[in-house]
Amino acid sequence: MSRLTHIAESGEAHMVDVSDKAETEREARAEGRVVMAAETLDLILRGDAKKGDVIGTARIAGIMAAKRTSDLIPLCHPLMLSKVTVDIEADLALPGLHVTATAKLKGQTGVEMEALTAVSVACLTIYDMAKAVDRGMRIENIRVLAKSGGRSGDWHAD
């Protein structure tokens, strides 16, 4: 990890200039999971959570949050996502729900933050909808799985 070349001398926060970057097709995939009691997962899968359909609601919340990433993360550039998907699957062994999100655009900056924000807000929505029966849930292992496009090329998590 070499020293960064574009550091502002004063260390002040700023939105970095991306106007010289190429417009390329970029895609990112991120994941995360909500670990919960087996009874909680069962309740969600049976559709019996107090606030209603957990998985469908969390999916919508994640997609909408991806579109608001630059509103939430101070130095993210606003950008025009061409696609967002959020998938949520039960993992009985965890036990819990596993969330994956994909974001895509043709533009000058990567979309990792959009995919990560979709995952985070989907996980928070799951927590919200099931917290009446299980306050001890934990959101775990939110990370980027893969990214493609841009100067730095493709990247995959180990």
Catalytic sites, residue numbers: 128
Residue 123 assigned ligand-binding role: no
Measured from the CB atom, the residue of 11 and 93 that comes closer to its own copies is: 11
Measured from the CB atom, the residue of 97 and 113 that comes closer to its own copies is: 113
Residue 15 assigned ligand-binding role: no
Taking the complex as a whole, how short is the minimal distance between the CB of residue 93 and its own copies, in angstroms? 19
Contacts 24+ apart (CB under 8 A), 138-142: 138/34, 138/35, 139/32, 139/33, 139/34, 139/35, 140/32, 140/33, 140/34, 140/35, 141/31, 141/32, 141/33, 142/30, 142/31, 142/32, 142/116
Q: How far is 62 from 119, CA to CA, in rounded Å?
A: 6
Taking the complex as a whole, how short is the minimal distance between the CB of residue 20 and its own copies, in angstroms? 9
Whole-Å CA distances, 126 to 9, 21, 30, 116: 42, 37, 17, 15
Residue 113 assigned ligand-binding role: yes
Measured from the CB atom, the residue of 50 and 93 that comes closer to its own copies is: 50
Residue 64 assigned ligand-binding role: no
From the annotation, which residues make up the binding site? 75-77, 113-114
From the annotation, which residues make up the binding site for substrate? 75-77, 113-114
